[in-house]
Structure 1
Amino acid sequence: MREIVWTKHAEYKMREYRLSESRIRRIIKTPARIEEGIAENTIALMQPNGRGKGEHEIWVMVSDADDKRKVVSAWRYPGRTKEGEALPKAILDEFNKITL
């Protein structure tokens, strides 16, 4: 697995949303959904969290370099989001190859 590099913004957001480094690593390793990130050359990874009234999702935006995976941002989204545009199969296969 690639070395994970944390941006200052990601560290700030992790503190703001009370997300631990291990939780972010778990989302990167086993995401429930993968979509294109809003920023250029990024991927957004999501895992649902909570049940019933407190349902929310935890999202992580990452950017891949040659031998590093940079965590750009992380946040909690209240409720559930609809699935957006899926990643192209070639990118999804490459991502799965790297993480396994």
Structure 2
Amino acid sequence: MRAKHEYKIVSSIQHLVCCRSDIVIHRTDTNKVFYIGKPADFARKEEEYMLETETYQEIIDGCCPLANNLHAVQTILTHLLTQKALMKQQSNRISPKLNNLEGVV
């Protein structure tokens, strides 16, 4: 019964995507779910969320501060390893996990 219900949902989404050129599918940041709707509506909701939470900073100059921060952390850890202030195991444990990072190019 559940599989049939989920199949109907997937079919309706596929139908929407195929028949409506004004609809986009976009992965949202929260809970890694998908948003299906008009681009203008998504942009408006995105702006409202950013203003409401004050969590995000818009990148207007093309330079991502997260990439700079990641590079700085990696440089410091490498220096600490070179100076034997950290053991390799400690460095591995506290190093940023690249496959878990979002927003870094």
Q: Specify the TM-score bucket, using the shorter chain as the normaliser.
A: under 0.3
TM normalised by structure 1 equals 0.24
More helix by share: 2
Q: Tell me the TM-score normalised to structure 2 length.
A: 0.23
Q: Higher strand share goes to which structure?
A: 1
**Greater relative contact order (Cα 8 A, min sep 6): structure 1 or 2?**
1
Q: Which has the larger radius of gyration?
A: 2
